[in-house]
């Protein structure tokens, strides 16, 4: 694992999936809390990207007409909600 700024990783996957599903008329929204924009975490970036991508794919396949991604910090915990 490498110390990685999370916001760009989450945002990159979000944008890729938003473009991928735009023909399907799936609505995408992202919310990043101000304190989460500068959060670093010891992660394996490729694995996090793959996991986020799979979670978004699963939510769309489960008949979601909207995907909401949220990155925030709560009591010193980093939370990514899809």
Give residue-wise pLDDT tens across range 30-65.
Answer: 999 999 999 999 999 999 999 999 999 999 998 778
Average pLDDT estimate for 7-19: 96
Which pLDDT value is given to residue 24? 84
Confidence class of residue 1 from pLDDT cuts 50, 70 and 90?
confident
Q: Which is more confidently placed, 1 or 45? A: 45
Confidence class of residue 6 from pLDDT cuts 50, 70 and 90?
very high
Q: Tell me the C-alpha distance between 13 and 2, whole Å.
A: 18
- The model's pTM is 0.89
Q: Tell me the C-alpha distance between 10 and 39, whole Å.
A: 12
| Strand duo 27-32 + 66-74: pairing | parallel
Query: How crowded is residue 28: how many other Cβ atoms within 10 Å of its Cβ?
Result: 18
């Amino acid at each position: 694992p490498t110390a990685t700024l999370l916001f760009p990783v989450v945002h990159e996957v979000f944008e890729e999936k938003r473009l991928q599903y735009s023909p399907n008329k799936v609505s995408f929204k992202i919310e990043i809390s101000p304190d989460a924009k500068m959060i670093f975490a010891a992660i394996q970036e490729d694995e996090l990207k793959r996991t986020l991508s799979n979670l978004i794919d699963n939510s769309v396949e489960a008949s979601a007409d909207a995907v909401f991604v949220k990155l925030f910090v709560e009591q010193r915990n980093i939370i990514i909600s899809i």
